[in-house]
Structure 1
Amino acid sequence: MDIKTIKETAKGKMAGKCRVCPICNGKVCAGEVPGMGGAGTGEAFAENVKALARVKLNMRTIHSALEPDTSVKMFNQQFKTPIMGAPITGAVINAGDALNELQMVSAIVEGSNSAGSIGWIGDPANPSLYEDGLESIRLAGQGVAIIKPRLDLKEIKELFKLAENAGAIALGVDLDGAGLITMALKGQPVGPKTKKELTELIQSTKLPFIVKGIMTAEEAIKCVEVGAKAIVVSNHGGRVLDHTPGAADVLPQIAKAVKGKITILADGGVRSGADVLKLLALGADGVLLGRPLIVGAYGGGTEGVKTIIEKYTSELKAAMILTGCKSIKDIGPEVLWHR
């Protein structure tokens, strides 16, 4: 399966929801939420892409990094690549009815696992669709579950328990969904969480706990203080708050504050393996893919998702050769060019 075929197929299946643009930068779909766009002017989505584009790499070719190792250890497991499938929900409403929720999320989770990585599931506004995510974890054998920050902590804990029983190897909350009106309209109001509330949630599970939606060093430090095992530097794909900076812009400051104290993951605007290298050099330990894998799922199902992750991993490996990095741990600030 090739990328061109995947994109052409996806474009037909996602008609009216996504144009599958040559460059997925949020310009054409600005404000299309529900849909594939960014909130309001769409600037937060576009800024994720722009922020990565502003990062430049030092080409270094006098070294012995001939066969770079792209493997990483995360959540007590070894993966072939640091590229993972992001928690995505709302197949029909956002991407079109060519796939139902189970088909889309299963393609992402199973495709990620087939590529030697791991897929994450989200927590849809329609509670019945959460079962589709859990089923995808059961089918794949493992996954990561991220729950919306409901006001009712008891409800979050119950959803954690279901994820544990389904085979999740890590779980957490996406605080970047704290203002989602769609959740309130479905009778599940969400909101921000205090350090005390996060501590209570962390203590309710034995699995590694992830806080998704961290965009400042101050809040990253708070996640370390409450005992979280990982954070995701993310503005929710630019879909919740207009005019935020890109994830790549805030990542260095966050890494400076908490690198080595907590696992740092990042998402937003990743469109190639070189983009993955940039986020790793800026301080991330792993990277999540969102929109590209939706296109992969609609364009080729499980195989489409696997193909895209493998393509990005191959591009990452090539970029590592050309920047002198033998392993993921070797990717540091020296890879980045500064004017």
Structure 2
Amino acid sequence: MNLKEVKQLARERMKGYCRVCKECNGIACAGEVPGMGGCGSGDSFKRNYESLKNIKLVLKTIHDAKNPDTSIEIFGRKLDLPLITAPVTGSSINMGGYLSEEEYSDSAVIGSIKANTIAMTGDSANPDFYIAGLNSIKKVNGEGIAIIKPRENSKIIECIRKAEEAGAIAVGIDIDGAGLVTMALHGQPVGPKTLEELKELKESTKLPFILKGIMCVEDALLAVEAGVDAIVVSNHGGRVLNHSLGVADVLSDIVKAVGGKITILADGNVREGTDILKYIALGADAVLVARPIIWGAYGGYDEGVKLVIDNFKNELKQAMILTGCKDIKSIDNTKIVNLNR
């Protein structure tokens, strides 16, 4: 099995829900929510693509970075590369249903472990999907992270307790899910959170707490004030608000404001190893990856996911060699030119 074969199988099995385009730029799937596209005209999805494409790498070949170390330590774990599988649910709703929720979740979580990284599992309008993710985490002895929709705090705390029982290494909420169409269609109340509500959630658990969906400096500062352990700079894949900025547009300013005070993850159109290097150079500690993991799962189950992540690692290592980076800490803004500025 190779990556080309995995993508071809995924294309066939996703039945038009995802075309697995050569360039995953949000054009073909614009407006397909539910589905795999961006909301409205798909502008926010497209902007994630465009803003990241506008980060260019500085080719450098006179140095001694001949065998770069791609590993990092995060949430008390050593990972082979700064990549975490993003929380994705709704195989039947968004991906065509070739895989059951349990099959997709197992593929993502177990495949990530096989590639020596970890996965986040997600939440959905169907409560069974959250449980499916926790069951997958149990199968890898708790080596996973549970992300919960921004429901009422009492409901979130119930979900946190279930994650603790499953042995998860961290929990969080994807606060950018406050406007998700799929939640509204199923009558599930979600919405924004106040600073006090975030503090209550953080204080409800001893696990590291992650806030996913930060896209401005003001919210990043409030996340630090709330005491959360990590933020994910993300516009939810462009699936909740049309015409928002891309992640690469806002990441540097957020890092300037809160870098060193909190772990910063970036989530937006990561499709190859060079994209990981770009986001690290902009100041992220690691990235989240969603769609390529879905392709891996649909094209080859957990082995397909492992293949996708291993390919990311190989591409990242090659990019580090050609930009003069010995290790992840060596990647900084001197390795890129930001054409968005």
Q: In the alignment, residue 225 of structure 1 is paired with which amino acid?
A: E
Q: In the alignment, residue 258 of structure 1 is paired with which amino acid?
A: V
For 1:129-172, what per-residue CA distance to the aligned partner results, in whole angstroms no more than 9, with x for missing partners? 2111111101122100110001x211100100101111210111
Secondary structure at 1:102's aligned position in 2? helix
**Superposition deviation, residue 22 in structure 1:** 1.1
Q: Does 1:272 align with 2:268?
A: no
2:219 aligns with 219
2:145 aligns with 144
- Following the alignment from structure 1 to structure 2, what is the Cα–Cα distance between the partners of residues 264 and 285? 5
Distance 1:182 1:15, change over 3 A: closer
2:61 aligns with 61
**Superposition deviation, residue 186 in structure 1:** 3.0
CA RMSD in angstroms, aligned pairs only: 1.0
1:193 aligns with 193
TM-score (norm 2): 0.97
2:4 aligns with 4
Give the number of aligned pairs. 338
For 1:44-85, what per-residue CA distance to the aligned partner results, in whole angstroms no more than 9, with x for missing partners? 111111111100011111111111111111111111111111
1:258 aligns with 258
1:333 aligns with 333
Secondary structure at 1:168's aligned position in 2? coil
- Following the alignment from structure 1 to structure 2, what is the Cα–Cα distance between the partners of residues 280 and 201? 28
Q: Which moved more, 1:50-59 or 1:14-23?
A: 14-23
Q: Does 1:161 align with 2:161?
A: yes
1:209 aligns with 209
**Superposition deviation, residue 33 in structure 1:** 0.5
- Following the alignment from structure 2 to structure 1, what is the Cα–Cα distance between the partners of residues 36 and 30? 9
Secondary structure at 1:136's aligned position in 2? helix
Q: Structure 1 residue runs of 4+, over 4 Å off? A: none
Secondary structure at 1:178's aligned position in 2? helix
Q: In the alignment, residue 219 of structure 2 is paired with which amino acid?
A: E
- Following the alignment from structure 2 to structure 1, what is the Cα–Cα distance between the partners of residues 191 and 279? 28
2:118 aligns with 118
1:182 aligns with 182
For 1:267-287, what per-residue CA distance to the aligned partner results, in whole angstroms no more than 9, with x for missing partners? 111110001100000010000
1:313 aligns with 313
CA contact (8 A) 2:86 2:119 kept: yes
Mapping for residues 24-63 of structure 1, pairs under 5 Å: 24-63=24-63
1:103 aligns with 103
For 1:228-277, what per-residue CA distance to the aligned partner results, in whole angstroms no more than 9, with x for missing partners? 11000000000000011111111010011111110000111111000110
2:76 aligns with 76
- Following the alignment from structure 1 to structure 2, what is the Cα–Cα distance between the partners of residues 92 and 81? 30
**Unmatched tracts of structure 2, length 5 or more:** none
2:94 aligns with 94
Secondary structure at 1:40's aligned position in 2? coil
- Following the alignment from structure 1 to structure 2, what is the Cα–Cα distance between the partners of residues 110 and 242? 33
**Superposition deviation, residue 180 in structure 1:** 2.1
CA contact (8 A) 2:122 2:129 kept: no
- Following the alignment from structure 1 to structure 2, what is the Cα–Cα distance between the partners of residues 181 and 295? 23
